[in-house]
A = this chain, B = another copy of it.
């Protein structure tokens, strides 16, 4: 069965192509009666505008891309759904584009992608969103973009963004541990190329300083936002003469790794060791005990990013970022006061 075109609708409704176009695009100056006739024809023929023709006529396709390189499926799916929801409302399509953030050809790849599909713009997830060189290359090619970054405020570098205050949330988590009575609190870093890592560390550092607890470098271990790194990092901390009584993992995966290591070492969480994560990903709820963490409303963040991008595409160059998303502390069973010595 041939798919109906605007021509078929025009013939059936006894009007010109242009009038149908006007009805479809909700343009004014169509008589009520005419509009009704056209709508009826559209309905009867099950007419759907051809996106290819539309985008050929206009300068760009009504499609944006989501660019990411992040091993965390739950996070990515949330971002995807958040962006998709807005795309759906706005009549935009979405292309997903996982890629290698370390590739030197990234800028060329993305430019080629955008040109090939005449993409209207890009949403960049971390860590791509924090690669200034890339941002400049894309901007030089006049590709609209919005990025999701970790920062306390809009960095004001001219690249539009939606920002999440990881520092503040990490502060809250550390504060929670301190208030439980912990003073020896381990910290496991996330990946270095993610800006969220130093932000979260800063929150940890600031909280300790504010509560008058000295930073102990031995309690701080590098890592890469992975379960295995959490496991290894925890083992390293367990070998210290003076073990930490609490460990703050830079994300839930790391914290789950710490939990596994604690279990392997025969420790009883939270009594022998408190553990906190970050993100409120499913793994934090599906551990036993469930992990204290910081809830990030990733879908809302992605909603915001997509809305911002589409507003800019539509010509509202002043459309501005958010007032700042701030993850909320979620206290669960993995944290408790330290065991008295």
Interface residues of A (CB under 8 A from B): 1, 3, 46, 48-53, 55-56, 61, 73-74, 76-77, 80-81, 84, 93-96, 98, 112, 115-118, 141-142, 227, 253, 256-257, 259-260, 263-264, 282-283, 285-288
B51 touches A117 (CB 8 A): yes
Residues of B within 8 A of A49 (CB): 116
Of listed A76, A115, A285, A286, residue having the most chain B CB within 10 A: A286
Chain A interface SS verdict (over half): helix
Q: How far apart are the CA atoms of A283 and B282 in the complex, in Å?
A: 10
B116 touches A51 (CB 8 A): yes
B98 touches A95 (CB 8 A): no
B94 touches A96 (CB 8 A): yes
Besides A3-B118, A253-B286, A283-B286, 18 other CB < 8 A contacts?
A: A3-B115, A48-B116, A50-B118, A51-B61, A51-B117, A51-B118, A52-B52, A53-B56, A73-B73, A84-B98, A93-B95, A94-B96, A95-B95, A96-B96, A227-B286, A256-B286, A257-B286, A260-B288
Residues of B within 8 A of A227 (CB): 282, 285-286
B283 touches A263 (CB 8 A): no
Residues of B within 8 A of A263 (CB): 288
Cross-interface CB contact of A286 among B1, B46, B76, B260, cutoff 8 Å: B260
Q: A227-B285, A264-B288 are in contact. Are A142 and B1 (CB under 8 A)?
A: yes
